[in-house]
Amino acid sequence: MKPFQALLVKEVEEQIVAEIEQTTIEQLSQGNVLIEVAYSSVNYKDMLAVQKNAGVIREYPMIPGIDFSGTVVESDDEAISVGQKVLVTGFAVGMSHTGGFSEYARVPSEWVIPLPETLTLKEAMIFGTAGLTAALSIQALENNGLSVDNQPEILVTGATGGVGSLAVQILAKLGFTSITAMVRKENQVAVAQSLGAQNVVFASEFADQKRPLNKQKFHYILDTVGGQVASDLIPFIHYGGSMSLCGNAGGIKLATTVLPFILRGVNLLGIDSVNISVEERTAVWEKLATSWNVSQTTLFDEVTLAELPKTIEDLKAGQHLGRTIVKL
C-alpha cells in the first residue's frame, strides 16, 4: 500500500509535537480489520492527546483520533466484509492504539460496529463519541425516571460543547420542554437556545452558593463538565433526582457532602463510553440512527486533516462550539 497522510504526535526534546506526515501501514497498530477512513471527529480527549502529561497518550509516536467511520478494505473476520461501512469509537483507539486522524486505520474486529442503515458515514461522525456519550447519559437518566410524561426540570452543563449540544438537541427532539442550558459566555446563549434549550443560565450563578443543600431546582442534571461545576450543582437537585457525569473539563475532583444523598436520595450516575460492550454500543447507535437522530440539525463544522491542528488549538482555548468532523 502507498504511504498515506495522518496526524502524528511525537515527543521531540521533551516537547509534544503534532504534525501531518506521510505514514505507512507498518506504523499502524495491529488488528485484523483495515479501514479506509472517511470521517473522524474532534473530541475533548483528542485535544488532551496532543498535550504533554495529559494522560491520554503515554507512548510515542501515536496517531490520535478516538473515533472514525469508513469502509473496510481488508478483514479476516467472516462477520465483517470488505466494502462494508463501519464505525469505531472508544476502546484504546487514539490513545494506545493508532486512531482516526489518518486516511487508514487498523483495529481488532471486536471494536468494529456496522454502520446503521439509516446513517451515512458523515452523520456517524457528526455524532461520534460525543453523540454516543450524550445518548448514554440520557439513557441512564431515563433508567432513573426521566420521562416526557413528567416534563421534569433538566439542566445540561457545557451545553454548547460536543456532548452538551447533542444532548440538548436529543432531549428537545424527544419532547422535553423544560431544558435549561448552562453556558459560560454571552455569545453561547443564542447558540444554546437555537439547539432547543428553553432557558439558559451561567455557571457563575451557582458558584457562590456553597450550602450543603440549596433550593431544589432541577430534577435531572446531565453534566459534561465535572469538577467544581458538578460540585456546585448537586445541592440543587430535587428529592429523588439524578445527575449523570461524563466529563472532566472542569477538573477531576468532586467536593460535596453526603447530605444530598442521604436526605434527598440524589443519584450520581457515572457514564463511560470507552469500554461498554459492543451489544450496548450497537443498541445506542440504533437509537441515534432513528428516533434520536438529530444529525440534520446539529451544529458542526467540517475540516480537512490539514486544518485539524487549528481546530485542536481552538478547543484548547475554549473557542470551540458544537461538533467538528474531519474529512479524510
Indicate whether 156 pLDDT > 90.
yes
The confidence score (pLDDT) of residue 274 equals 94
227-275: pLDDT as tens digits: 999 999 999 999 999 999 999 889 999 999 999 999 999 999 999 999 9
Confidence of residue 319 (pLDDT cuts 50, 70, 90): confident
The confidence score (pLDDT) of residue 15 equals 79
Confidence of residue 153 (pLDDT cuts 50, 70, 90): very high
Which candidate, 235, 226, 242, places its Cα nearest to that of 259?
235
Task: Report yes or no: 64 and 42 within 8 Å, Cβ to Cβ.
Answer: no
The confidence score (pLDDT) of residue 83 equals 98
129-148: pLDDT as tens digits: 999 999 999 999 999 999 99
269-295: pLDDT as tens digits: 999 999 999 999 999 999 999 999 999
Q: How much is the average pLDDT of 165-179?
A: 97
Indicate whether 170 pLDDT > 80.
yes
In CATH, the number for domain 130-270 is 3.40.50.720
Q: How much is the average pLDDT of 213-220?
A: 96
Give domain 4-115+298-327's CATH superfamily: Medium-chain alcohol dehydrogenases, catalytic domain (3.90.180.10)
C-alpha span between 208 and 228 (Å, rounded): 11
Indicate whether 314 pLDDT > 90.
no
With vertex at residue 122, the alpha carbon angle to CA 51 and CA 162, rounded to the nearest 5 degrees, is 45
What residue spans define the domains of the chain? 4-115+298-327, 130-270
Task: Report yes or no: 196 and 171 within 8 Å, Cβ to Cβ.
Answer: yes
- The mean of the pLDDT values for the chain is 94
Q: How much is the average pLDDT of 35-46?
A: 94
